[in-house]
Amino acid sequence: DLAQDLAGRHVVVSAGGTREPLDPVRFLGNRSSGKQGYALARCAAARGARVTLVAANAALPDPAGVDVVPVGTAVQLREAVLKAAADADAVVMAAAVADFRPETYAAGKIKKKDGEEPAPIALVRNPDILAEIAGERPRPGQVIVGFAAETDAVLANGRAKLARKGCDLLVVNEVGERKTFGAEENEAVVLGADGSETPVPHGPKEALADTVWDLVARRLV
Ligand code: PMT
């Protein structure tokens, strides 16, 4: 039996990948399945926490005993995470959030016209939810965890990202077209704002999730 070390705590987890619509039939998206975020939610619930799971486009069954809030876009994910974070002890951002969205949404399907060059897609910046929450700390003493999906210079990029985002822990994992995204397993290094580095060997996404909660539990006041 796992210790109920998160009993009496409220934790917020984001999972999945945002989709930024271009028109009623198309979107800009990413390859996140939601599996890592759902594993985090399941493990927190097993350790006694009340869990709010903000799920972006994940085709996975709702974990038992978890409050699931489905969202589509980064803007919707921000709304849902900020709302749930108001009384949360910890927020873990495992969702793959689009940094940019199309500037305009076409109410009707965008048509291709014969002989015309394809039109470029203008993008605007999305809010950085992790940086916002880490900066504002809606609740004092709250522990904020980010993920970093990198394809190269993984650790160097991770350290820079931890500093930039201002979170307490950053889970750095390597991704590729078929690496980590959608897989049952992951491997990572969890960087702490205190300079700590916790390597997590290749294994089930639940194992990484439990290590993240170990590190979070130690930091809760
Ligand atoms: O869902 P799976 O198939 O299981 O795959 C898991 C995963 C690879 C998606 C997951 O382990 C992971 O790495 N998630 C973070 C993906 C990501 O968006 O990384 P990033 O390096 O682009 O963003 C860094 C952090 O900032 C993330 O915590 C992200 O949630 C957050 N962010 C990013 C952009 C933005 N506008 N707002 C944010 O809050």
DSSP class of residue 179?
Answer: S
- Return the residue whose CA atom lies nearest to atom 13 of ligand 1: 149
Is residue 186 predicted with pLDDT exceeding 70?
Answer: yes
Measure the CA–CA gap between 105 and 30, rounded to whole angstroms.
Answer: 19
The model scores a pTM over 0.90: yes
Give me the torsion for CA of 27, 29, 34, 37, rounded to 10°.
-120
On whether the CB atoms of residues 64 and 9 are closer than 8 A, the answer is no
**Residues contributing to the annotated binding site for CTP:** 99, 109, 127-130, 147, 161, 165
Give the active site residues. Answer: 30
Q: Which DSSP string do the residues of 156-176 spell out, in sequence order?
A: HHHHHHHHHHT-SEEEEEE--
Tens-place pLDDT, residues 16-62: 999 999 999 999 999 999 999 999 999 999 999 999 999 999 999 99
- Return the residue whose CA atom lies nearest to atom 36 of ligand 1: 128
Q: 69 is written with which tokens?
A: 């809030």
DSSP class of residue 117?
Answer: P
ipTM: 0.99
From the list 197, 195, 204, 206, the residue with the least C-alpha distance to 172 is 197
Is 62's C-beta closer than 6 angstroms to any atom of ligand 1?
Answer: no
- Return the residue whose CA atom lies nearest to atom 1 of ligand 1: 34
Measure the CA–CA gap between 91 and 142, rounded to whole angstroms.
Answer: 8
Give mean pLDDT, residues 109-122: 89
On whether the CB atoms of residues 15 and 58 are closer than 8 A, the answer is yes
